[in-house]
Amino acid sequence: QPVSEPRAHGLEDVGFLVASHTGLPPGPLAKVASGGELSRISLAIQTALSGVAGVPTLIFDEVDVGIGGSVAEAVGRRLARLGETRQVLVITHLPQVAARGSQHLRVAKQANGGFVSSNIELLDPDARVEELARMLGGIKITATTRQHAAEMLAG
Shared-domain flag, residues 115 and 79: yes
Handedness of CA 39, 49, 77, 120 (dihedral sign): negative
- Do 59 and 123 lie in one domain? The reply is yes
Residues 104, 146 within the same domain: yes
Separation between Cα atoms, residue 67 and residue 36, nearest integer Å? 9
Same-domain check for residues 26 and 40: no
In whole angstroms, what is the distance from residue 98 CA to residue 59 CA? 14
* Region label for 124, one of left (φ > 0), alpha (ψ between -120 and 50) or beta (otherwise): beta
pTM of the model: 0.75
**Are 76 and 93 a contacting pair, CB within 8 Å?**
no
Which domain covers residue 1, as residue numbers?
A: 1-33
Q: One digit per residue, pLDDT tens: the chain, 155 residues?
A: 677 788 877 788 788 888 877 888 999 888 888 777 787 787 788 778 777 767 788 888 888 888 888 888 999 999 999 899 889 999 999 999 999 999 999 999 999 888 999 999 999 999 999 999 999 988 889 999 999 999 999 98
CATH number assigned to the domain comprising residue 68: 3.40.50.300
Regarding whether 1 and 62 lie in a shared domain, the answer is no
Domain total for the chain? 2
Residues 68 and 126 in one domain: yes
| Same structural domain, 4 and 49 | no
